[in-house]
A and B are shown apart, each in its own frame.
Chain A
Amino acid sequence: MVSGILVCEAGCILENLGTFLDNQGFVVPLDLGAKGSCQIGGNVSTNAGGLHFIRYGSLHGSILGLEVVLANGTVLDMLGTLRKDNTGYDLKHLFIGSEGSLGVVTKVSLLAPPKLSSVHLAFLACKDYFSCQKLLLEAKRKLGETLSAFEFLDSNSMDLVLNHLEGVRNPLPPSLHNFYVLIETRGSDESYDREKLEAFLLRSMEADYISDGAIAQDINQASSFWRIREGIAEALMKAGAVYKYDLSLPVDKMYNLVEEMRSRLGQSANVVGYGHLGDGNLHLNISTSQYSNAILAKIEPFVYEWTSKHRGSISAEHGLGLMKADKIHYSKSPQTVQLMSSIKKLLDPNGILNPYKVLPPSLLPC
């Protein structure tokens, strides 16, 4: 395989695709915690993001073609394998992220990046959110093309993980820092990339963006750093009831929402913020001992209004589905939603594809 273009059926499990590509020296441009069970067709229909979005971009860029079955049974062959094709309207983009509401994805043609052998991971502590932002800016400039992940988590997230997950230890003992950042680089030259990362981190420490940090010396250590970031969702589940919000916001405003939510809820809940800082994507989670309407009333619609006011997305990567379909107006104008509804009626006049999802019920066919 020279081109790095993978053509496969929608039911292939992401991890298996990864193993197949690995043998040939390529990687899937997508990495999720659920890779052991999720299927590529689903990833396409939900426009899954993942940890390496900052490096490989959206599926809108990596997908070269699709085969889709329409509501009327037509098998639409758009399974191109070309990097450039400006012939007509690029319809595959309608289906990517449409959550199966416009058609069922049956085959995928995916551009797989070459596997780069030198991977480095650093776990860093920052004293405040401003430092995290400066670090991100510097990382994009100084690590440039080798930057492959930039994640953040606050001290409440770290505290949850240390308390609720087995076999997890604080990489930067003894105390809890206010913020933690994970920076990953992927390149082709082990020594050069490591020196570049070390030089960057040294300068960042001198500039006081970082107060402490550790670099993983082997894959096992790297996995234990990732376990902390990837384990937050699991720790939240174990801690009790959780209200989850997945938002896109301007990076400089992002943590303000976490702090405002904290002061709104006071002692009644543990507000936790983490996410893909490099993509401007916040995972805001509110952890309580039990679900309560009183708490929900303090969270919604405040969180959506706040996001809307900052022209953010009320669903950065998780989609709208059933629960957020009626909230679409917080992030999309009425005219835009109206056009979406027309397209839905055109492609699925009888409303058989994933009914009641994505668009508000009033605008759906039938």
Chain B
Amino acid sequence: MTMKIMVAVKRVVDYAVKIRVKSDKSGVDTSNVKMSMNPFCEIALEEALRIKESGLASEVVAVSMGPAQCIDTLRTGLAMGADRAIHVDYSATLYPLSVAKLLKALVDVEKPGLLILGKQAIDDDCNQTGQMVAGLLNWPQGTFASKVVLDKEKKVATVDREVDGGLETLSLDLPAVITTDLRLNQPRYAKLPNIMKAKSKKIEKFTVQDLKVEIKSDLEIVQVTEPPKRKAGINVSSVDELIDKLKNEAHVI
């Protein structure tokens, strides 16, 4: 089975960085801040690599969209073991619907049997791209995956999803879209031999025009502010005072 797996990876502010909001409230300050691969995207790539290593896929292609620096994120993906990479070059902000449209265009070119993404990016927490691209492709989707088992013969993916009530198991006909949740796997480290090999792996560039997708900005960021600082608690002197405050100040009863 020569199934190809495509994995979308996003370059985001490193999860461990203490972010600051810009003084003009237009967004988060990303200058001189460490950028890394989105943790859920790392998990997505790890899953794709494991599927390939078990013999169920022949190639893993990593895709990233954004400015030239995305190449760094793709190099990490190649260093983990992806076979080749695609960079969609675009310098302005890309929102989930645009990303989904671009991914659909790439899927039409590459024809993968599986498209794996992280469930959401840690910078915008949208949790939309996977679902939207599945809709555009008219493919089945298994989101918040905590376990993925592929059946080569029947061309079916069995996905355990983390849902509010517990775990839900779905059976998806391939090709399908899967988005990954935290407990799916623990991503591997990029080892030296693979880091060196990655230097000679191919990174193909596409523009938005090449993929014939029109990017419309349908969202406008009005303001970005920090959450209000947590106020100190107070001691109340009686049950009556507690009830009074819960009713008249907190308005919860």
Q: How far, in Å, is A222 (CB) from chain B's closest CB?
A: 8
In the complex, are the beta carbons of A218 and B16 less than 8 A apart?
Answer: yes
| Known contacts A191-B72, A223-B16, A205 near B192 by CB under 8 Å | yes
In the complex, are the beta carbons of B39 and A202 less than 8 A apart?
Answer: no
Q: Is the C-beta of A230 less than 8 angstroms from some C-beta in chain B?
A: no
- Residues from chain B with Cβ under 8 Å of A190 in the complex: 72
Q: Chain A, 207-219, contact with B by CB distance < 8 Å: what is the 0/1 string?
A: 0001011111111
In the complex, are the beta carbons of A215 and B192 less than 8 A apart?
Answer: yes
Could you tell me how many residues of chain A have their Cβ less than 8 Å away from some Cβ of chain B? 25
- Residues from chain B with Cβ under 8 Å of A213 in the complex: 191-192
Q: Is the C-beta of B89 less than 8 angstroms from some C-beta in chain A?
A: no
Q: Chain B, 182-225, contact with A by CB distance < 8 Å: what is the 0/1 string?
A: 00001001111101100000000000000000000000000000
Q: Which of B15, B186, B191 sits near A218, CB closer than 8 Å?
A: B15
Q: Which of A119, A172, A191, A198 sits near B191, CB closer than 8 Å?
A: A172
- Residues from chain B with Cβ under 8 Å of A171 in the complex: 189
Q: Which of A22, A169, A202, A218 sits near B36, CB closer than 8 Å?
A: A218
| Known contacts A191-B72, A198-B195, A219-B34, A214 near B190 by CB under 8 Å | yes
- Main secondary structure, interface of A, reads mixed
- Residues from chain A with Cβ under 8 Å of B145 in the complex: none
- Residues from chain A with Cβ under 8 Å of B36 in the complex: 217-219
In the complex, are the beta carbons of A215 and B190 less than 8 A apart?
Answer: yes
Q: Is the C-beta of B83 less than 8 angstroms from some C-beta in chain A?
A: no
Q: Which of B34, B72, B186 sits near A117, CB closer than 8 Å?
A: B34
With both beta carbons as reference points, the residue of chain A lying nearest to B32 in the complex is identified as: A117
Q: Is the C-beta of B65 less than 8 angstroms from some C-beta in chain A?
A: no
Q: Chain B, 67-95, contact with A by CB distance < 8 Å: what is the 0/1 string?
A: 00000100010011000000000000000
- Residues from chain A with Cβ under 8 Å of B186 in the complex: 169
Q: Is the C-beta of A178 less than 8 angstroms from some C-beta in chain B?
A: no
With both beta carbons as reference points, the residue of chain B lying nearest to A195 in the complex is identified as: B199
In the complex, are the beta carbons of A220 and B17 less than 8 A apart?
Answer: no
Q: How far, in Å, is A44 (CB) from chain B's closest CB?
A: 27
- Please measure, in the bound complex, the distance between the C-alpha atom of A218 and the C-alpha atom of B11, giving whole angstroms: 11
In the complex, are the beta carbons of B189 and A217 less than 8 A apart?
Answer: yes
Q: Is the C-beta of A350 less than 8 angstroms from some C-beta in chain B?
A: no
Q: Is the C-beta of B37 less than 8 angstroms from some C-beta in chain A?
A: yes
Q: Which of B16, B33, B80, B192 sits near A202, CB closer than 8 Å?
A: B192
Question: Is the interface on chain B under 10, 10 to 19, 20 to 34, or 35 or more residues?
Answer: 20 to 34
- Please measure, in the bound complex, the distance between the C-alpha atom of A190 and the C-alpha atom of B33, giving whole angstroms: 10
Give residues 189-244 of A contacting B (CB, 8 Å).
190-191, 198, 201-202, 205, 210, 212-221, 223
- Main secondary structure, interface of B, reads mixed
- Residues from chain B with Cβ under 8 Å of A219 in the complex: 14-17, 34, 36
Q: How far, in Å, is A218 (CB) from chain B's closest CB?
A: 4
- Please measure, in the bound complex, the distance between the C-alpha atom of A119 and the C-alpha atom of B189, giving whole angstroms: 17
With both beta carbons as reference points, the residue of chain A lying nearest to B33 in the complex is identified as: A117
Q: Which of B39, B80, B196 sits near A220, CB closer than 8 Å?
A: B39
- Please measure, in the bound complex, the distance between the C-alpha atom of A218 and the C-alpha atom of B188, giving whole angstroms: 12
Q: Chain A, 160-199, contact with B by CB distance < 8 Å: what is the 0/1 string?
A: 0000000001011000000000000000001100000010
- Please measure, in the bound complex, the distance between the C-alpha atom of A41 and the C-alpha atom of B195, giving whole angstroms: 44
Give residues 49-81 of B contacting A (CB, 8 Å).
72, 76, 79-80
Q: Which of B32, B37, B193, B196 sits near A217, CB closer than 8 Å?
A: B37
- Please measure, in the bound complex, the distance between the C-alpha atom of A184 and the C-alpha atom of B79, giving whole angstroms: 19
In the complex, are the beta carbons of A119 and B34 less than 8 A apart?
Answer: yes
- Please measure, in the bound complex, the distance between the C-alpha atom of A276 and the C-alpha atom of B118, giving whole angstroms: 39
- Residues from chain A with Cβ under 8 Å of B79 in the complex: 215, 217
Q: How far, in Å, is B232 (CB) from chain A's closest CB?
A: 19
With both beta carbons as reference points, the residue of chain A lying nearest to B76 in the complex is identified as: A217
- Residues from chain B with Cβ under 8 Å of A205 in the complex: 192-193
User: What residues make up the interface of A, taking CB atoms closer than 8 Å to B?
Assistant: 22, 117, 119, 123, 169, 171-172, 190-191, 198, 201-202, 205, 210, 212-221, 223
| Given A202-B192, A220-B39, 14 other A-B residues pairs in contact with their CB atoms under 8 A | A22-B18, A119-B34, A123-B189, A198-B195, A213-B191, A216-B189, A217-B37, A217-B42, A217-B80, A217-B190, A218-B14, A218-B36, A221-B189, A223-B16
8 shortest interchain CB distances as A-B pairs:
A218-B36, A219-B16, A214-B189, A213-B192, A117-B32, A217-B76, A219-B14, A214-B191
29 A–B pairs (Cβ distance < 8 Å), ordered by A: A22-B18, A117-B32, A117-B33, A119-B34, A123-B189, A198-B195, A198-B196, A202-B196, A205-B192, A205-B193, A212-B191, A212-B193, A213-B191, A213-B192, A214-B190, A215-B192, A215-B195, A217-B42, A217-B76, A217-B79, A217-B80, A217-B190, A218-B14, A218-B39, A219-B14, A219-B34, A219-B36, A220-B39, A223-B16
